[in-house]
Amino acid sequence: MITLIFACDEDNAIGKDGDLPWKQSSDLQHFKRITLNKTIVMGRKTWESLPGLLPNRKHLVMSRRPRTDIETISKEEVLELADNEDIFIIGGGEIYRLFIDEAKEIFRTVIHTIVDESDTFAPHPEDFGFYLLSSTFQEATERDMFDMTFEHWLR
């Protein structure tokens, strides 16, 4: 099964200048809980934005060019893998759009802010036939910049 997971602002923006436009420790912990011991698929820019391999996850990168630093995969190969295991699409915007029609589930964290001059957006779940299964508001902790809402969408 293919699942999308992302954090976005209230306008569905997920990035600015090649990076996340916020620091949200609670959302990173949420991301870790959901993706631990799973396969994560990302685009080249997302891979290059990570500090390195995330522990206890299989990393696959979609790239138009061959790479020697990380295992790469095509869309067709991702779809084949998804027949037998849970695949989490973790970004960026192009990769979310590439898999939105095949996804059955979305974990979306809405960061309660609006990012000025954001340049990367995720698809809105409602626009693709998803329905909201659960929504949990969390106030910002001392390690978060903003309040957030954890959402779980299904189709």
Q: Which pLDDT score is estimated for 122? A: 94
pLDDT digits (tens, 9 = 90+) for 74-108: 999 999 999 999 999 999 999 999 999 999 999 99
% of residues, the chain, pLDDT over 70 = 100
How many Å apart are CA 75 and CA 62, to the nearest integer? 8
Rounded mean pLDDT, 24-30: 97
Q: What is the mean pLDDT of the chain?
A: 94
Q: Give the chain's domains with CATH numbers.
A: 2-154 (3.40.430.10)
DSSP 60-101: EEE-SS--SSS-B--HHHHHHHHTTS-EEE---HHHHHHHTT
The sign of the CA dihedral 42, 44, 50, 56 is: positive
Residues 109, 152: Cα–Cα separation, whole Å: 9
Single-letter amino acid code for the residue at 35: T
Read off the pLDDT of residues 28-69 as tens digits, 9 standing for 90 and up. Answer: 999 999 999 999 999 998 998 888 899 999 999 998 888 888
Average pLDDT over residues 8-20: 90
Query: What percent of the chain is predicted at pLDDT more than 90?
Result: 83
The two most distant CA atoms of the chain are separated, in Å, by: 43
The Cα–Cα gap between 77 and 80 comes to 5
**Among candidate residues 109, 80, 78, the one with its CA nearest the CA of residue 95:** 78
| 152 bridge partner residues | 107, 134
Burial of 89 (0-12, 13-18, 19+ CB in 10 A): buried
